[in-house]
Structure 1
């Protein structure tokens, strides 16, 4: 893993170096960033955003960096990906082959806390301001939904979910709170810290 820390800037050569070990390594990197009081993260190689499981891990990592309120210096390429679903994540510095002013739309739409949640005792409150004209609040106290959100892992639609869990996942998906890539899903809102 090629990581450099200089003057409160955390530089990562490529997300691939940390994403293959998935959630455990992501959490270790985030812990390290917090302990060192890092203010900016630089990802040197373009982050691949497509309809794959690996792309979801990249989104989880960027989501978690955003939740910390960090400046993220990253870039990606426009491969006809639907960036609109992740406008709540800190926008990239560059979108290679940006023919549709996607970056400008993203920068204009982004603000910290656009789609986030807060934890309470036995509930979470999700605030969704992505529409721009109004705010949606979801107060979730259902134990099945809470368990899915608490685990905050990628899960495959073929994963052995009970009927009630499948219905809960579908409910979150219907409200655009879950992102789907192929057979894999991940919870979109980040925890406000």
Structure 2
């Protein structure tokens, strides 16, 4: 198994990743996009992540409730409790096919939304945002649609896709 990519210093021991420093969730630049990508990739690989958050989110933190919650979210204890209650492995994920991506979003309790991205512009933007990118590097119309569907975090001049590509599959195969 390959390790999660990114610029986040961490230690990998078995199926656990321990992040060395607090991850910036403020949404003020590239550091937030890199942190979200790192957490998304850990989720994708089924790794248990031990991490702490820094910064006060300038976006709806509910966008991240499909990712493992931090040990600490200074100044936002209520939000941390909500995150812990809402988190469930696989509640937002994607699968790829030839010329399309299917996304299943179960972040909202009691609902399941299935989206198929097969329009070339949307698909290209989604795949491009597997890596954090400056906002001007992505088609603005596609970015607006993906952001409206809560599939992309766009903050601080940077954007990154939110749904992990599940590689460890405890999610029932009939769920997608």
The alignment's C-alpha RMSD in Å is 2.5
Paired residue secondary structure (2:143): helix
Supply the distance in 2 between the matched residues of 1:140 and 1:131 (Cα, whole angstroms).
20
More helix by percentage: 1
The residue aligned with 1:86 is: 64
TM, length-normalised to structure 1: 0.73
CA contact (8 A) 2:26 2:55 kept: no
CA contact (8 A) 1:88 1:114 kept: yes
Q: Deviations over 1:149-185 (max 9, x none)?
A: 22322232333x5xxx322221111111111112221
CA contact (8 A) 1:77 1:98 kept: no
The residue aligned with 2:49 is: 72
The residue aligned with 1:39 is: 15
The residue aligned with 2:170 is: none
Supply the distance in 1 between the matched residues of 2:86 and 2:52 (Cα, whole angstroms).
17
Residue 84 of structure 1 and its aligned partner are, at CA, apart by 1.3
Paired residue secondary structure (2:38): helix
Q: What pairs with 1:34-183 in structure 2 (closer than 5 Å)?
A: 38-51=14-27, 52-77=29-54, 79-81=56-58, 82-99=60-77, 101-151=78-128, 152-159=130-137, 165-183=139-157
TM, length-normalised to structure 2: 0.80
CA contact (8 A) 1:19 1:57 kept: yes
Q: Deviations over 1:115-139 (max 9, x none)?
A: 1101112211100111112111001
CA contact (8 A) 1:39 1:71 kept: yes
Q: What is the count of residue pairs matched by the alignment?
A: 160
CA contact (8 A) 2:24 2:55 kept: no
- Distance 1:154-1:78 versus aligned 2 partners, 3 A rule: closer
Unaligned stretches of 5+ residues in structure 1 = 1-9, 11-17, 21-25
Which has the larger Rg? 1
Supply the distance in 2 between the matched residues of 1:80 and 1:65 (Cα, whole angstroms).
21
Structure possessing the higher relative contact order (Cα contacts under 8 Å, 6 or more residues apart): 2
Paired residue secondary structure (1:50): coil
